[in-house]
Amino acid sequence: MSTTTEIVLRAQETIPAPDIEYGQLAPVLIVIGAAVVGILFEAFLPRRARYVAQTLLSGLALASAFAAVVGLAVAGNASTEAGLVAMGALAVDGPTLFLQGVILLVSLVSLFTFAERRLDPRAHGRHVDSFAAEGAAVPGGESEKAAVKAGFTTTEVYPLLLFAVGGMLVFPAANDLLTLFVALEVFSLPLYVLCALARRKRLLSQEAALKYFLLGAFSSAFLLFGIALLYGYAGTVKYAGIAEVVADTNSGVTEALAATTGNDALLLTGGALLLAGLLFKVGAVPFHMWTPDVYQGAPTPVTGFMAAATKVAAFGALLRLLYVVLPGLTWDWRPVMWGVAIASMAAGAVIAVTQTDVKRLLAYSSIAHAGFILAGVIAATPAGISSVLFYLGAYSFVTVGAFAVVTLVRDAGGEATHLSKWAGLGRRSPLVAAVFAVFLLAFAGIPLTSGFTGKFAVFKAAAEGGAGALVVVGVVASAVAAFFYIRVIVLMFFSDPRPGGPSVAVPSPLTSTAIAIGVLVTLVLGVAPQYFLDLASQAGVFVR
Q: Which residues are near other proteins by CB under 8 A? A: 210-211, 214-215, 218-219, 222, 264-265, 268-269, 271-273, 275-276, 280, 285-287, 289-290, 292-293, 331-333, 335-336, 339-340, 347, 350-355, 480, 483
In whole angstroms, give the CA distance from residue 266 to residue 279.
20
Nearer to other proteins, 218 or 493 (CB): 218
H/E stretch holding 134: none
Closer residue to other proteins in complex, CB, 335/466: 335
Calpha distance 130→337 (Å, rounded): 38
Other beta carbons less than 10 A from residue 262's beta carbon: 15
**Shortest distance, CB of residue 73 to other proteins, whole angstroms?**
27
Which residues make beta-bridge pairs with 83? 92
Q: CB 10 → other proteins: shortest distance, Å? A: 47
DSSP 3-state of 380: coil
Q: How far is the CB of 249 from other proteins (least distance, A)?
A: 20
Give me the least distance between CB of 33 and other proteins, in Å please.
35
Rounded to a whole number of angstroms, the minimum distance from the CB of residue 260 to other proteins is: 20
Q: Which DSSP string do the residues of 385-396 spell out, in sequence order?
A: HHHHHHHHHHHH
Cα 393 to the chain's mean position, in Å?
10
What does residue 176 show for φ and ψ, rounded to 5 degrees? -140, 165
Residue nearer to other proteins on the CB measure, 190 or 216: 216
In the complex, what is the shortest distance from the CB of residue 367 to other proteins, in angstroms, rounded to a whole number?
A: 11
**Residue whose CB is less far from other proteins, 112 or 484:** 484
Cβ nearer to other proteins, comparing 195 with 543: 195
Separation of alpha carbons 30 and 64, rounded Å: 8
Neighbours of 129 (CB within 10 A): 22
> Beta partners for 92?
83
Q: Which is nearer to other proteins, 26 or 285 (CB)?
A: 285
Torsion 8-14-15-19 (CA) sign: negative
CB of 355 to other proteins, least distance (A): 8
What is the rounded CA–CA span in Å between residue 397 and residue 408? 17
Backbone angles phi, psi at 60, to 5 degrees: -60, -45
In what side-by-side order are the strands of the sheet with 414-415? 414-415, 409-411, 503-504
Q: Which is nearer to other proteins, 173 or 285 (CB)?
A: 285
In angstroms, give the least distance from the CB of 370 to other proteins: 14
Half-sphere exposure of 161 (CA within 13 A, CB side): 34
- Nearer to other proteins by Cβ, of 253 and 289: the residue is 289
